[in-house]
Amino acid sequence: MRIKTSSLKPGIALGTDVFSFDGQLLLPKGEKVTAELLDALIRREIHEVIITDDSPRQSSARSFDDAYSHALALTKSFMYEVKLGQPLAEKDISDILNLLGSQVDDQNDIFRQMRLMKGRDEYLLTHSLNVSLLSMLIGRWMGLSPQDISALGQAGLLHDIGKAMIPDQILNKPAKLTDDECIKIKEHSVIGFELVKDYPWLLHGVADAILGHHERQDGQGYPFGLGEGSIGLYSEILAIADTYDALTSNRVYCPRVSPFSAVDVVWKESFGRLNPRIAKIFYDRMTNFYVGNEVLLSNQDKGVVIYIDPSEPTRPIIRVGDRFCNLIEDRSLYIVEVFDE
């Protein structure tokens, strides 16, 4: 299990080898951490390590699974009620966000757990939960206020609520959509806005965020084709969370890509389409959570991520057997899949 070095306690055993940034072995797998070793790791700016499975992290994983599963059931219920024309219940939304918000503090484990949850139920439901989680996390990284983070949680959870009113045969169509079907899908942000705009218990800006989460800075988004400077902050945060989670999910018309490839797409989209300031924060922070994960490279080699270079976070150093592969130097390779412990 991955854990912050600052959270380590003497006596905990390492679950994998620990290497320096230049690929030198610092501590072998199985080594028990002492106070002296912990100080040495901190001095060398080793921010995260993998520890053995008998660590307290297991209870955190179970806590996430329980919270996510409960939130998923509640989301399925309110989406079904919306489809039947029933109003949103404030308590349902509040309960879901309380469950999700309790997990945002554990940033080390949240991405692993989100990956494990993918495929648990319909894409629309898990995607709504994930966008809510990611939006709150981005808000925290940006130093936004607790009220802003709560609003982002609400907006992320409800950003695709308009799709509840789109026919399933369009939403789940495995083939390419027709022009008319594309137009119908694009109506979901307006439908979602209309569904939520009159609820007094939703925080200020949530309805507008739902309306604008597909707007883009180059003016090529929808529904209004707004450009740079005209899109709300919440919408721009939702756009990044939505893009990342969609790319890393299996959809009926498109297989998922690795988190590294998805972050690369977000970064490239920041040159004209997504807010570059928010995308840079996301780009700098996201991939750090994959140090210690086993990955599959495009040449079918398997290795372990041992170092994330801040200059190009999506092209880390990978230990493959007894050799090291620097993806910044070898541009022919890329990560195609991330495995969990």
Q: What mean pLDDT comes out for the span 144-162? A: 97
Single out the residue of 334, 321, 327 nearest to residue 259, CA to CA: 334
pLDDT computed for residue 67 by the predictor: 85
Between the alpha carbon of residue 175 and those of residues 169, 250, 251, 253, 259, the distances in Å are 11, 14, 11, 6, 25
Phi, psi of 303 (to 5 degrees): -155, -175
pLDDT computed for residue 291 by the predictor: 85
246-296 tens-digit pLDDT: 999 888 778 889 999 999 999 999 999 999 999 999 999 988 888 888 999
65-92 tens-digit pLDDT: 888 888 999 999 999 999 999 999 999 9
* Average pLDDT of the residues of the chain: 88
115-125 tens-digit pLDDT: 777 766 578 89
131-141 tens-digit pLDDT: 999 999 999 99
User: In this model, does residue 113 exceed pLDDT 90?
Assistant: no
Tell me how far apart the alpha carbons of residues 134 and 155 are, in angstroms, rounded to a whole number.
11
Q: Show the CA angle centred on residue 311, arms to residues 213 and 336, nearest 5°.
A: 65
- Name the H helices within 50-167: 57-83, 90-104, 107-117, 123-141, 146-158
Tell me how far apart the alpha carbons of residues 288 and 232 are, in angstroms, rounded to a whole number.
28
Tell me how far apart the alpha carbons of residues 183 and 186 are, in angstroms, rounded to a whole number.
5
Q: Is 125:157 a contact under the CB 8 Å cutoff? A: no
Rg of the chain taking only CA atoms, in angstroms: 21
pLDDT computed for residue 6 by the predictor: 66
Distance in Å from the first CA to the final CA of the chain = 7
Q: Is 189:134 a contact under the CB 8 Å cutoff? A: no
pLDDT computed for residue 117 by the predictor: 76
User: In this model, does residue 58 exceed pLDDT 90?
Assistant: no
Counting residues of the chain whose pLDDT is more than 90, the rounded percentage is 62
- DSSP conformational letter for 7: G
> E-assigned strands of the chain?
2-4, 18-19, 25-27, 48-50, 294-297, 302-307, 317-320, 323-326, 335-338
Q: Show the CA angle centred on residue 183, arms to residues 172 and 177, nearest 5°.
A: 40
Q: What mean pLDDT comes out for the span 45-57? A: 65
pLDDT computed for residue 13 by the predictor: 81
pLDDT computed for residue 266 by the predictor: 97
pLDDT computed for residue 174 by the predictor: 84
> Which of 9-18, 104-113, 220-229 is predicted most confidently?
220-229
pLDDT computed for residue 300 by the predictor: 97
